[in-house]
Amino acid sequence: MPVFLQKLIPKLIGFYLNFLVWFSPKKAAKKAFLVFIKVRKGRVLPNQKTFLDNAKLEVLSLDKNDIQVYKWPGNKETVLLVHGWESNTWRWHKLIAKLQKAGYNIIAFDAPAHGYSSGDNLHVPLYADTVQHVLTKYKPTTVIGHSMGGMTVLYNESLHPNKTIEKIVTIGSPSEFHEILAHYKNLLGFNDKVLKALKDLVYKKFQFTVKEFSSSKFVQSNTKKGLLFHDKFDKIAPYHASVDVHKHWKGSELVSTEDLGHSMHQDGVNEKIVSFLEG
């Protein structure tokens, strides 16, 4: 799709929402929410297929979604990998190589609407339900989440403190849902009336306000050991997100980097993760 269309289409949707909200705030909110949770990429690409196909373990049927699970066997403890928005398990291939060399048993899965898993939409509460099911089944001692995956892990841990989990790693993860919605509002250009209707829908659907949905709040009672990676110049998730989480998580360590980007696939990052697991 041409770049100008990529920029124009969100603005057209925002214009439509600004019109619709005057006639039906609920319909405008529902439309805004469906656009927000729609997954547009992250399926398995040709260059990812062999790596993932060779590690397929099983497909879990959860509610309306079939979830593809992968395993790279090892003799040490089990590590669970949780990828981010519009990604899939392949994003971990460099870390998996390091973990395999160190002997860890590795479990990963594709989120709903990502990779080989079924579905069209994803939001954090849905992702957390999936994470909890996988945690209960495979009982990892460490969970590692990137971006939205990290936020999901912290949210889920606040709801269901898992006794088997000893350590949690997040990489470039956002913290405040109200900041995510503010970015979404600016991207589409919809007005405050639409935003209010969307916030009302979120509360009715999930029973939390956008201000309450905060990783810095989720970790306040977290007693696990945590390792947070965040680049100071991350253009996707703001650096201050992990700074705030670290401030409220007593058992955490923050690793700040510069110019490593949002994905953070670098050897130094992956080696630091392995050292944290072994420490």
pLDDT digits (tens, 9 = 90+) for 82-95: 999 999 999 999 99
Alpha helices in 212-266 (DSSP H): 215-218, 239-248
Query: In which band, very low, low, confident or very high, does the pLDDT at 115 lie, cut at 50, 70 and 90?
Result: very high
Residue 85 neighbours by CB under 8 Å, 6+ apart:
39, 42, 122, 147, 148
Tokens for 34?
């469906």
User: Angle at which helices 25-37 and 3-20 pack, to 10 degrees?
Assistant: 150
CA separation for the pair 117, 61 (Å, rounded): 10
Domain boundaries, the chain: 1-37+177-213, 44-175+217-278
**How far is CA 15 from each of CA 113, 117, 180, rounded to the nearest angstrom?**
27, 33, 20
Residue 264 has pLDDT above 60, yes or no: yes
Q: What local confidence, expressed as pLDDT, does residue 27 receive?
A: 97
Among residues 165, 181, 279, the alpha carbon closest in space to that of 224 is found at 165
Q: What local confidence, expressed as pLDDT, does residue 243 receive?
A: 98
CA separation for the pair 33, 199 (Å, rounded): 10
* Confidence (pTM): 0.95
Q: What's domain 44-175+217-278's superfamily in CATH?
A: Alpha/Beta hydrolase fold, catalytic domain (3.40.50.1820)
CB-based contact 264:231 (threshold 8 Å): yes
Query: In which band, very low, low, confident or very high, does the pLDDT at 80 lie, cut at 50, 70 and 90?
Result: very high
Handedness of CA 220, 84, 13, 120 (dihedral sign): negative
pLDDT digits (tens, 9 = 90+) for 7-25: 789 999 999 999 999 999 9
229, 90, 131, 202 alpha-carbon torsion, rounded to 10°: 80
Q: Read out DSSP for 74-123?
A: -SS-EEEEE--TT--GGGGHHHHHHHHHHT-EEEEEPPTTSTT---SB--
Residue 75 neighbours by CB under 8 Å, 6+ apart:
103, 105
pLDDT digits (tens, 9 = 90+) for 178-225: 999 999 999 999 999 999 999 999 999 999 999 999 999 999 999 999
Q: What local confidence, expressed as pLDDT, does residue 188 receive?
A: 96
